[in-house]
Chains A and B, each alone.
Chain A
Amino acid sequence: MNDKRFIELLHKEEGKLYRIALAILGSEADAWDALQQAVEQAWCKRATLRGAEAAFPAWVKKILVNCSIDLLHRRERVIPVDPQLIPALLRDEPSPDARLIWQLVAELGPGFRQVIALRYLGDFSLEDTARALHIPVGTVKSRLNTAHKRLKEMLEEKEAKGADILETSQP
């Protein structure tokens, strides 16, 4: 794969990759670092890409998630949800569900954000998530259960509010 084709494929994925790194790391500066490292590694390892260009998105995402996890451990600090990050995460966000999920993440804390990001954006299994974050599988399960429960409550509240609005707006 030559440099021009690599850049073409990268441009299609870069926005998504940046958001995945942002969700895992919780900081725009760290997400940018992880993305640059992932691009460097992907360029150096491009000869190992199997399945030609169709496999590029999944392949580069895997590299990025690994780079993000490495960075997370290298920094050796828990990154709290930056209040300024939430608007960044919700920027141009048309999906009300995604808006609710990020509000939930802001409420629950960074440990939940990492589990949710790896589970849903990194396509990690419970075991892989536990291994990547150096926490027991039970903790991953309990965090996901808490997130599910809380999100369900939030959705019910939202739907109830929506129904109230509809009822009051009727003459």
Chain B
Amino acid sequence: MKPANREIDERIGQALRGWADAGTLPPEKSFALERLVFQMSHQGQRSRLVAVLRGAIAALAAYVTMLFFACPAAGSILPAVEFLVENSAGPANELVEQVAYNPATPVFNRAGNANLKGAQS
């Protein structure tokens, strides 16, 4: 750019930046912008609250559903523990039974073998 053009270029730039900096917004428009920001802020807070509530309701519904499916009285689809124990054989199930019925008895003896003394079956 030629020096004369550069001078004009800088002059235009300075003049327009000064003109823009001196700009003011009418009070009603300024207030309208303020209201717009407050509205967006409140809307955001409401959305977050709604999302939290929805999450809590979904979690509660999932919990109740799981309780229902796990409850034998309500026709559970999951077999009860007694049923599993009655229809099983072997030391592993006996161990489970012992833990369930005699929690005070140590599960393993000193030799590290399973202690099946208190088992019912």
A interface with B by C-beta (< 8 Å): 2-3, 6-7, 10-11, 14-16, 18-20, 23, 32, 35-36, 39-40, 43-44, 89, 92-95, 97-98, 100-101, 116-117, 120-121, 144-145, 147-148, 151-152, 155
- Besides the known contacts A3-B38, A15-B22, 16 further A-B residue pairs in the complex with CB atoms under 8 A apart: A7-B33, A10-B34, A10-B37, A14-B25, A14-B29, A16-B20, A19-B19, A19-B20, A35-B33, A43-B40, A97-B14, A98-B19, A101-B12, A101-B16, A116-B16, A152-B4
Decide: A120 and B30 in contact? CB cutoff 8 A.
Answer: no
B19: A residues at CB distance < 8 A? 19, 89, 93, 95, 98, 101
Which single member of A35, A40, A95, A147 contacts B18 (CB below 8 Å)? Answer: A95
Q: How far is the CA of A145 from the CA of B9 in the complex (A)?
A: 10
Q: Is the interface of B mostly helix, strand, loop or mixed?
A: helix
How close is B52's CB to chain A, nearest CB, in angstroms?
19
Nearest 3 interchain pairs by C-beta: A97-B15, A19-B23, A15-B23
- Sorting the interface of chain B by its residue count into under 10, 10 to 19, 20 to 34 or 35 or more gives 20 to 34
User: Does B110 sit at the interface, judged by CB under 8 A?
Assistant: no
Sample of 12 A–B contacts (CB below 8 Å): A2-B41, A15-B23, A19-B23, A36-B32, A39-B36, A93-B19, A95-B15, A98-B16, A101-B15, A121-B17, A144-B9, A147-B12
Q: Is the interface of A mostly helix, strand, loop or mixed?
A: helix
